[in-house]
Amino acid sequence: MSTWTVHAIKYADRNARTRADSFIFDDNHDAPHAMDYFMWLLQCGDAVILVDTGYDDKEAQSRSRPIRLNPHEALRPFGISPEQITDVIVTHLHYDHAGGLHLFPNARLHLQSAEMAFATGPCMCHDTLRMPFTADHICEAIRRLYSGQVQFYNGDGEIADGVTVHCIGGHSRGLQAVRVRTEAGWLVLASDAAHFYENYIARKPFPIVVDLQNMMDGFDLLQNLASRQELVIPGHDPLVTQLFPLVLDDFVWRLDRGPSAEIPDYS
């Protein structure tokens, strides 16, 4: 059975936020609440899979959300060029997860059918639902489709031995989490099925949501997929950088051996 190494690569952060931006019905809504932005690299021998792509300088400028590291440069410390990436799991098509698709031109995209339908369908007539998407990113996904570089999934699917995807929805219609077999057990990259540890541990939903029931049910699914709670990795929580060992220059952390500290008690 294959076991994978998993690295979190931090490419941006946004600190001018409050808890109201992270939780529905929070009692302490005006307290500061920072957010980190990650992409994830899976490796097993010569096999390499990238999970999400971040967004580039152009998108950073248009949304006034600066990046610390251009995703095009993020894999250089691993000795990997963007052209060598042949598989990208796209957890969903929001700008901060699919804004760098064009930077990895040879990659096959692994995407839920529901996400492509959502991002190209009548729901995008609504400004609020359209806000997290950028048309150029969706067009890039469509170009990959027409060049035979998209693999669709409807629910659960296997990407490789020890790597599976699971449609959760909630935050976006076709949002998928990624389950990875590691030496520490089954690790789950929640992406935006849980932005923060507090979202899924305390069952506190994130405000950007398409289907609230799917989001709430997804918190249970995340924990059922993982070997244990501490192996559920939220998509944007700065605590990841405190709980897991730093391996490179304050922007790469290793996840596959489990955390080196305990998750806070949110009960």
Place of tokens 């920072």: 34
DSSP lists the bridge partners of residue 111 as 152
The whole-number pLDDT of residue 1 equals 81
Q: Which tens digits make up the pLDDT trace of 18-65? A: 999 999 988 899 999 999 999 999 999 999 999 999 999 999 999 999
pTM of the model: 0.98
The whole-number pLDDT of residue 195 equals 98
Q: Which tens digits make up the pLDDT trace of 79-136? A: 999 999 999 999 999 999 999 999 999 999 999 999 999 999 999 999 999 999 999 9
In terms of pLDDT, which residue wins out, 27 or 142? Answer: 142
Distance CA 126, CA 194 (A): 24
Contacts of 133 (CB under 8 A, 6+ apart): 93, 94, 95, 119, 124
Q: Which tens digits make up the pLDDT trace of 164-212? A: 999 999 999 999 999 999 999 999 999 999 999 999 999 999 999 999 9
Distance CA 106, CA 83 (A): 6
The whole-number pLDDT of residue 52 equals 98
Distance CA 4, CA 187 (A): 10
Phi, psi torsion values for 173, nearest 5 degrees? -60, -40
Contacts of 107 (CB under 8 A, 6+ apart): 50, 85, 86, 87, 88, 101, 149
Q: Which two tokens stand for residue 94?
A: 């929001």
DSSP 59-111: HHHHHT---SS-GGGTTGGGT--GGG--EEE-S--SHHHHBTGGG-TTPEEEE
Q: Quote the percentage of the chain above a pLDDT of 90.
A: 96
